[in-house]
Amino acid sequence: MIAELGAFSLMLALAFAIAQAGLSAAGRIRRSTVLAAAGEGAAIAAFAGVAVAFGCLVHAFVTSDFSVANVAANSHTEKPLLYKVAGAWGSHEGSMLLWCLALTGYGAAAAALGRGLPQGLKTVMVATQGLLGSVFLAYTVFASNPLARLAQPPVEGRSLNPLLQDPALAVHPPFLYSGYVGMSVVFSLAVAALVEGRVDAAWARWARPWALAAWSLLTVGIMLGSFWAYYELGWGGWWFWDPVENASFMPWLMATALLHSAIVTEKRGALAGWSIFLALGAFTFSMLGAFLVRSGVLTSVHAFAVDPKRGVLLLIILGLTAGSGFALFAWRAPQLAKGGLFAPISRESALVLNNILLAAATATVLLGTLYPLIREAMTGEAISVGPPYFNLTFVPLMAALAILLPAGPLMAWKRGDLAGVAQRLWIAAGVAILAGLAAFALVSPRKAFGALGLAVGAWLVAGAIAELVERTRAFRVSARESLRRLTGLPRGAWGMTFAHLGLGVFVLGACFELGWRGEAAETLPAGGALDVGGYHILLERVGQVEGPNFDADQAILKVTRNGQPVCVGRPERRVYAVGGQTTSEVAICYRGLSHLYMVLGERREGAAGPQWLVRAYWNPWATLIFFGPILMALGGVISLSDRRLRLGVAARRLAEQPA
Amino acid sequence: MSWLPKSPKARRRLTLVAAIAPVLALAVGLTLWGLKDSISFFYTPSQAAKANPPAGRPIQLGGLVKVGSVKKSTDGRVQFVVADRTAQDQVSYQGDLPDLFREGQGIVATGAFRRDGVFEAKQVLAKHDEKYMPRELAKALKEQGEWRGDGSVPDYAKAQHP
């Protein structure tokens, strides 16, 4: 009964989404506030409908109602409660429902929170959001209904893929999807601005909070996915340039570019067309990501059961929405007002350069991701594009960006002073060079590239601090005055500092880990040992443990350094009775910022009894890789709380301006 | 500078072009170089025999693990034979096999041929779950008419009984 209620309210939501689009569009054409308000009401009702449907799906999972096909395929009575709930979005159908929930949720939020927006702009935005909602809801209802019933329900479900039964992955999709879909509001706002024919500072001020919120959520989502890959796949790495990782990374790069170009549009009225282009592009890449993941056209860990029909449908949706958005752009953008002028050396130019580099980086990632498809379509040869390609193309572009980054915030608007910027940054440059030289001289083995990367990371961190020092005039005025300035800084400035600091921290961690990671693998009998990164790892024994829905071999690994006990690692090799799948549970021993990462491999029969393959990685400073993005997202949240970005303030300021 | 255009608009356009051009050139150059050198081809054993990639060039080799061919040594080295309908290759691999590595199942090995013709694998990927098959492999097998769904082992991958 509850599943039927869910299916019904999902259809109701589809009807409401269509009504939302229709009523709002009619409201805009007839300039009727009544119709427009009805459209906004429909937006909230559509969200309520999807929320009820989603609640019903979660209920079906929690109560293990195997008469629902999706539950039977992805759940099991013995699964822990968290993974029963997470199972609701662990499959293709469920994840599309989550997508719709986020999409209608943002639609409702835009309708409810956008009070300060001009009526016409808001109505077109709600209409666009309604159109997007109708398309994706129609897809969910007709092509991948998560609440479809089975005529003959099985007694027991087939359970969720054990690799996905993990806390980080349970919360990874909600974050990622709220990030992906948050770009839809920016997309709708861009469409609305194009329809209304007006893109100005106020538009950028309205679009920025949505872009910031989506960007922060996406940052956390990508980080969680990477962290999952790090400790669940047991390969010792945290980023594999897998097509699905790229699919989530490209919208992030676009959104990052948008956040920066929107600043120029907001402060100086320039780059309006480009900001709109990025706003359209960010959601297009989000949809491309959904298509790549869901259609299974590319080989990936994340590819769900492949159904070509669904892939084609998603491709049509992608083509239609992105196509009409960009067609509108091509038609209307030339009529947009051109913004203020600026000198080649200025804050504007620095942000333009940032955008050029980010756009070029996105393009190389896109090409690398799609090249196997293109190549196969043209020549029929199957190829794969792996990390070497991305290291060669993406990394130099990002390195250039990182080297230029600290100078940007110190530049003045309109006309900057290069000598002045250099004067303020020479201490940071000195710190960076010293850090690089120290890393080259002190860390063994000697690695020039690793040291260079560390220098870049130190440059970013020192640059962010130098910017803070400059703003507070520290060491030039009294400490109390500096403190007063520090507490008086706008939240937006803090947000930027945190985000740039986070990037620096990430670069430090990534370069140290990639440069100096150690790896060892050996087949050990009980009592055998191996060494990695100065640590001695002794396999004491392998015992049996029983989990809620798996049995596991658990190794007791005693770690010592110079004879002193350090920690005990308990990596597991789990066998899930349902599906017969084996997964490895990694043991990580945290040593400051560094990780000692231990994996229990397969059992082999040796001459003198059983032996186990034990792999260990020494990942120095690996914590920073995941901490950096958290700092960045935190920067986004802090910036979001800035009162300048609140919609009411923007509207009041606009009202004060003479029309 | 007198050669600069007079109008500020044209000047800004020139600045933009001057900023974009080097980045674009860098990106395009790196991309072309990257796509030429750091892509790896996917071959089944018979395709590899035909294409004959030079020793040491990284490729991906996909096929079915021949039943009875897997030999594990105590030092962690694994030897097995990857086969398709007409050809087979000896693979040598040092490391942990994926959890779903089974005889008679499809795998994709990343690595390079040695001079002696043995494929030295750096990484071996098997299906991630019962629904998943490396796409290139599924396609190559389908083209050869060897796709029978999961679980059935074609004759050439079966052990030969004397």
Question: What pLDDT was estimated at residue A659?
Answer: 36
Average pLDDT, chain A: 88
Which residues lie closer than 8 Å to A534 by C-beta, 6 or more apart?
A: A561, A618
Count of C-beta atoms within a 10 Å radius of residue A196: 17
Q: Are residues B54 and B34 in the same domain?
A: no
Which is more confident, B155 or A289?
Answer: A289
Inform me whether the pLDDT recorded for A332 exceeds 70: yes
Inform me whether the pLDDT recorded for A303 exceeds 60: no
Which among B27, B35, B38 has the least Cβ separation from residue A360?
A: B27
Count of C-beta atoms within a 10 Å radius of residue A187: 29
Consecutive H or E run containing A177: helix A167-196
| CA nearest neighbour of B138 among A193, A333, A449, A296 | A296
Q: Do A364 and B42 touch (CB under 8 A)?
A: no
Q: Do B128 and A161 touch (CB under 8 A)?
A: yes
Q: Are residues B118 and B66 in the same domain?
A: yes
Instruction: Give whichever of A54-68, A81-95, A150-164 has the largest mean pLDDT.
Output: A54-68
**Distance (Å) from the C-alpha of residue A393 to the closest C-alpha of chain B?**
5
What does pTM read for this prediction?
0.90
Q: Are residues B3 and B50 in the same domain?
A: no
**In angstroms, rounded to a whole number, what is the distance separating the alpha carbons of residues A495 and A632?**
8
In a domain, B33, yes or no: yes
Q: Do B19 and A356 touch (CB under 8 A)?
A: yes
Which residues lie closer than 8 Å to A596 by C-beta, 6 or more apart?
A: A532, A533, A535, A537, A559, A566, A567, A569, A588, A589, A616, A617, A618, A619
**CA of B76: which chain A residue's CA is closest?**
A523
DSSP class of A645: G
Q: Are residues B81 and B100 in the same domain?
A: yes
Q: Do A385 and B39 touch (CB under 8 A)?
A: yes
* pLDDT tens string A378-406: 887 778 888 889 999 999 999 999 999 99
* pLDDT tens string B37-83: 777 888 888 888 888 888 888 888 888 888 888 888 777 788 999 88
Which among B12, B130, B131 has the least Cβ separation from residue A341?
A: B12
Which is more confident, B133 or B103?
Answer: B103
Inform me whether the pLDDT recorded for A292 exceeds 60: yes
Q: Does B98 touch chain A (CB under 8 A)?
A: no
Which is more confident, B46 or A452?
Answer: A452
In a domain, B31, yes or no: yes
Inform me whether the pLDDT recorded for A310 exceeds 80: no
Q: Does B15 touch chain A (CB under 8 A)?
A: yes
CB A44, CB A135: distance < 8 Å: no
Q: Are residues B93 and B127 in the same domain?
A: yes
Question: What pLDDT was estimated at residue A644?
Answer: 62
Which residues lie closer than 8 Å to A106 by C-beta, 6 or more apart?
A: A129, A181, A182, A184, A185, A210
CATH code assigned at B126 = 2.40.50.140
Range(s) of the domain holding residue B133? 42-157
In a domain, B109, yes or no: yes
Question: What pLDDT was estimated at residue B160?
Answer: 46
Q: Does B151 touch chain A (CB under 8 A)?
A: no
Q: Are residues B145 and B94 in the same domain?
A: yes
Question: What pLDDT was estimated at residue B33?
Answer: 84
In a domain, B162, yes or no: no
CB A283, CB A324: distance < 8 Å: no
CB A576, CB B130: distance < 8 Å: no
Q: Are residues B116 and B153 in the same domain?
A: yes
Inform me whether the pLDDT recorded for A94 exceeds 80: yes
Q: Are residues B66 and B122 in the same domain?
A: yes
> What is the percent of chain A where pLDDT is above 70?
95
Inform me whether the pLDDT recorded for A492 exceeds 70: yes
In a domain, B58, yes or no: yes
Q: Do B128 and A301 touch (CB under 8 A)?
A: yes
Inform me whether the pLDDT recorded for A312 exceeds 90: no
Question: What pLDDT was estimated at residue A548?
Answer: 84
| CA nearest neighbour of B73 among B100, B99, B102, B93 | B93
- Which of A389, A390, A583 to probe by mutation at the B interface, max B CB count within 10 Å? A389
**Banded model confidence at residue B132, pLDDT cuts 50, 70, 90:** very low
Q: Are residues B126 and B73 in the same domain?
A: yes
Question: What pLDDT was estimated at residue B136?
Answer: 61
In a domain, B66, yes or no: yes
In a domain, B48, yes or no: yes
Q: Does B12 touch chain A (CB under 8 A)?
A: yes
CA A238 to the chain's CA centroid:
14
Q: What average pLDDT does this structure show over B8-33?
A: 81
Q: Are residues B115 and B130 in the same domain?
A: yes
Residues of A in contact with B80 (CB under 8 A): none
Q: Are residues B145 and B98 in the same domain?
A: yes
Number of domains in chain B: 2
Average pLDDT, chain B: 76
Which domains does chain A carry? 1-165 (no CATH), 168-415 (no CATH), 417-513+632-659 (no CATH), 518-619 (2.60.98)
Q: Are residues B18 and B48 in the same domain?
A: no
Q: Does A602 touch chain B (CB under 8 A)?
A: yes
ipTM of the complex in this document: 0.74
